[in-house]
C-alpha cells in the first residue's frame, strides 16, 4: 500500500476526495448540535454525500452523559491538513476548544477525520486512518452504515469485519433521530408553513426568499385588488365591516384553492398569511355586534381550511414598522398610526398564546435586515431548522 505524504495529497487538490468524518456530542441539545454541524460541514467542507444513522452510547474513558454519534462521507477538494484546520474551526464555533492536556471529557461537538481516500498520513498534526477507529464501536457502527465494504488501508480489512472483530463491547443503540444532508431535505419534510406578521413586517419578502431557495410553492395574499381597502383608511367606521367580510371571502376562496392543490414539482408550500389573520384584524376594526356576527361566519370557514405545520410570526417594533411602511410607498397606507399597529401586534400575540397546540414561533426582526444581510437570513433559517426538527422528533 502506497503511503502518501501530505505534499503528495496537495498535488491532486483539483480532484474530489472522499473524506469520512465521525461526529459526536454529549452536551446540550446533542441532536440539534449534530444537525447544525452537518449543515456547517456541507457549507464549508464540501458536499455531504452519505449520512449514517444516529447512535447513542455511553461516554468512553471518562464519566459523562451519553453521546450521540454519527458518520458522514463528504466530497471535498480540501487537502487533509486543510480539512483538519477547518473542522477544528467548526468545533470552536460550537464552543469546543481542544486541549490535549485535559484528556477525555464531555464536549458540545467532536469531529474526527476517520478516512481520506486510501491515503496514509502520520505526522505530529494528523494521523489518517484515525489510529483508534478499529477500537471504537461508536465509530465503526455508523461507519458501517455508509461504507461497509471500505477497506482500511493499513489493516486490509473492510469496515464490517473490523466491526465484528472490535473488542469494544460497550452498549450502542440506534436512536430515533435522523440527520439531513442538506437544509432543503429538512424543509421538504414540511407540507405547509405560514409566515405572518404586522403590516410592513417583511412576511411577503421572506416567503419569496424561502420559496426560491427551497423549492416551495408560493402562496401570496392578494390584497391590492380589494376596493374597500383605500376607503377603509379614509373612513374606518363606515367601511370596516364590508372590508373585513370582503377580505374573509377572498382569503377563504384563495386559501382553500391554493393550499388544496399540491404542486408535484415543489417540496412544500409557504404562504405570507394565515386565514386566522381575518379574525385578528376584524376584532380590532369592528364594533362588538359586527364582530360577533363576523366570528360566526369565520368559525364555520376556519374549520375547513388547512392548518400550517409551522406558524412563524415576524415581530417588528412599531417604529420599524412605520419606517418600512413609508419605504414601500403605498399611498393608502401612509396614514396608518402606531397605535393601530400595536393593536395588531397584540392581536397576533394573543392568538398565538390562545393556541398552544399550534407549532408557533415568534421571531423578533427589530434589529435584523435579512434582505441585505445574509447572516441575518441565515439566523432565521437556523431557527426554522430547530423548529422543524423539534416537530419531527
Model confidence pLDDT, tens digit, residues 240-261: 999 989 889 988 998 999 888 8
CB atoms within 10 A of CB 36: 20
Adjacency order of strands within the sheet including 360-364: 216-219, 268-271, 192-197, 310-315, 360-364
Q: Which residues contact 206 (CB under 8 A, 6 or more apart)?
A: 195, 272, 314, 370, 380
In the residue annotation, 124 being an active-site residue is answered as no
Residue range(s) in the chain whose domain bears CATH number 3.30.70.560: 6-181
In CATH terms, the superfamily for domain 184-392 is P-loop containing nucleotide triphosphate hydrolases (3.40.50.300)
* Catalytic residue from among 112, 272, 274, 309: 272
pLDDT the model gives residue 9: 46
Q: DSSP strand E in the chain: where?
A: 17-25, 47-51, 55-57, 67-76, 110-116, 121-122, 127-128, 173-174, 192-197, 216-219, 268-271, 310-315, 360-364
pLDDT the model gives residue 102: 54
Cell of 112: 474526527
pLDDT the model gives residue 221: 87
Q: Which residues contact 131 (CB under 8 A, 6 or more apart)?
A: none
Q: State which residues of the chain have pLDDT below 70.
A: 1-14, 99-104, 223-225
Q: Which DSSP string do the residues of 283-307 spell out, in sequence order?
A: HHHS-HHHHHHHHHHHHHHHTTSPP
pLDDT the model gives residue 4: 47
CATH topology of domain 6-181: Alpha-Beta Plaits (3.30.70)
Strand pairing category for 310-315 and 17-25: unpaired
pLDDT the model gives residue 3: 47
Residue range(s) in the chain whose domain bears CATH number 3.40.50.300: 184-392
Amino acid at each position: 500500500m502506497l503511503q502518501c505524504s501530505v505534499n503528495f495529497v496537495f498535488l491532486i487538490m483539483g480532484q474530489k476526495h472522499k473524506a469520512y468524518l465521525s461526529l459526536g456530542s454529549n452536551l446540550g441539545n446533542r441532536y440539534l448540535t449534530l444537525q447544525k454541524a452537518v449543515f456547517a460541514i456541507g457549507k464549508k467542507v464540501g458536499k455531504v454525500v452519505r449520512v449514517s444513522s444516529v447512535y447513542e452510547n455511553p461516554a468512553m474513558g471518562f464519566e459523562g452523559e451519553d453521546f450521540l454519534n454519527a458518520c458522514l462521507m463528504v466530497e471535498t477538494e480540501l487537502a487533509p491538513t486543510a480539512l483538519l484546520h477547518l473542522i477544528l474551526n467548526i468545533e470552536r464555533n460550537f464552543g469546543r476548544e481542544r486541549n490535549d492536556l485535559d484528556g477525555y471529557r464531555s464536549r458540545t461537538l467532536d469531529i474526527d477525520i476517520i478516512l481520506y481516500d486510501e491515503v496514509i498520513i502520520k505526522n505530529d498534526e494528523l494521523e489518517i486512518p484515525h489510529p483508534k477507529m478499529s477500537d471504537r464501536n461508536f465509530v465503526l457502527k455508523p461507519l458501517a452504515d455508509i461504507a461497509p465494504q471500505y477497506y482500511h488501508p493499513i489493516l486490509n480489512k473492510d469496515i464490517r469485519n473490523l466491526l465484528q472483530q472490535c473488542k469494544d463491547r460497550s452498549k450502542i443503540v440506534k436512536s430515533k433521530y435522523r440527520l439531513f444532508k442538506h437544509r432543503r431535505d429538512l424543509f421538504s419534510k414540511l407540507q405547509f408553513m405560514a409566515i405572518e406578521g404586522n403590516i410592513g413586517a417583511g412576511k411577503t419578502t421572506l416567503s419569496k426568499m424561502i420559496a426560491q431557495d427551497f423549492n416551495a410553492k408560493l402562496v401570496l395574499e392578494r390584497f391590492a385588488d380589494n376596493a374597500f381597502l383605500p376607503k377603509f383608511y379614509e373612513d374606518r367606521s363606515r367601511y370596516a365591516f364590508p372590508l373585513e367580510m370582503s377580505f374573509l371571502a377572498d382569503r377563504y376562496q384563495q386559501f382553500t384553492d391554493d393550499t388544496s392543490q399540491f404542486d408535484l414539482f415543489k417540496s412544500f408550500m409557504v404562504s405570507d398569511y394565515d386565514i386566522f389573520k381575518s379574525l385578528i384584524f376584524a376584532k380590532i376594526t369592528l364594533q362588538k355586534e359586527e364582530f360577533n356576527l363576523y366570528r360566526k361566519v369565520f368559525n364555520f370557514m376556519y374549520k375547513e381550511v388547512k392548518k400550517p405545520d409551522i406558524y412563524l410570526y415576524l415581530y417588528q417594533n412599531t417604529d420599524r414598522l412605520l419606517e418600512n411602511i413609508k419605504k414601500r410607498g403605498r399611498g393608502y397606507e401612509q396614514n396608518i398610526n402606531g397605535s393601530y399597529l400595536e393593536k395588531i401586534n397584540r392581536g397576533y400575540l394573543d392568538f398565538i398564546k390562545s393556541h398552544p397546540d399550534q407549532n408557533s414561533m415568534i421571531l423578533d426582526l427589530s434589529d435584523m435586515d435579512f434582505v441585505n444581510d445574509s447572516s441575518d437570513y441565515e439566523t432565521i433559517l437556523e431557527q426554522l431548522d430547530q423548529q422543524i426538527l423539534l416537530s419531527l422528533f
